[in-house]
Amino acid sequence: MPDISFSEINWSETLGNIEKIVTIAAVLVGGIWTYLRFIKGRIYCPRLRPSVEGRMAQIDGRRHLVATLTIENVGTSKVDLNHKAMGLRLLGPTMQPCAAPPVQVRWMQLGTFDVFEKHGWIENGEVIQDQVVIAVPEGITAFSLEFRAAAQKSVWQSKSTVESRI
């Protein structure tokens, strides 16, 4: 068995090899962390939380629906809004015969409205709001509001039903 003493070890070469191993390990750990954090975790994907609420109002003796739309950016990056794919859809119930058995209400589209026209983007953590006032026809007892928010290639939706008591 050969006799190895500390004087025969080339310390600069040994430390250089250890440094290379540590560098390779750090690059691998950093790559795995980056993959899990940014790609797998989808950290910088746009994430919006839309909501819509409505209430009836009497203005100059006519019924109006006041729709309040809110978008909250719950993601970690700025989101550019896609106005061509955004909007508020107003729906009214189709008339059912009185003697018909109970069925789910079917809605007919009454109109579509542009929203958030003055907002080009929304910063992370920011909440923006818009209101639309719509003159509505008499005789309709309820309305359905469908709000569609869009950014880049993603779309989010929110719905609400408003009872007409005015």
Q: Whole-number mean pLDDT of the chain?
A: 88
Confidence band of 144 (pLDDT split at 50, 70, 90): very high
Residues 53 and 36 in one domain: no
151, 81 in Cβ contact below 8 A?
yes
Query: What pLDDT does 9 receive?
Result: 77
Residues 73 and 29 in one domain: no
Residues 18 and 89 in one domain: no
- Residue 73's nearest CA partner among 117, 123, 116 is 123
Confidence band of 166 (pLDDT split at 50, 70, 90): low
Min mean pLDDT across 20-29, 36-45, 121-130, 133-142 is at 36-45
Residues 19 and 97 in one domain: no
DSSP string, 64-133: EEEEEEEEEE-SSS-EEB-GGG-EEEEEEEPP--TTSPP-PPPEEEEEEE---TT-SEE-TT-EEEEEEE
Query: What pLDDT does 14 receive?
Result: 87
Residues 109 and 150 in one domain: yes
The model's pTM is 0.71
Query: What pLDDT does 159 receive?
Result: 97
Containing domain of residue 32, as a range? 6-40
CA distances from 35 to 45, 50, 61, 75 (A): 14, 29, 60, 18
pLDDT, tens digit (0-9, with 9 covering 90-100), for 46-102: 889 999 999 999 999 899 999 999 999 998 889 999 999 999 999 999 877 666 677
Residues 36 and 53 in one domain: no
Is pLDDT at 32 greater than 70 in this prediction? yes
Total domains present in the chain: 2
Residues 79 and 96 in one domain: yes
Inside any domain, residue 1: no
Rounded Cα distance between 84 and 116, Å, is 11
140, 164 in Cβ contact below 8 A?
yes
Cross-strand bridge partners of residue 121? 80
Residues 110 and 134 in one domain: yes
Share of the chain above pLDDT 90, in %: 61
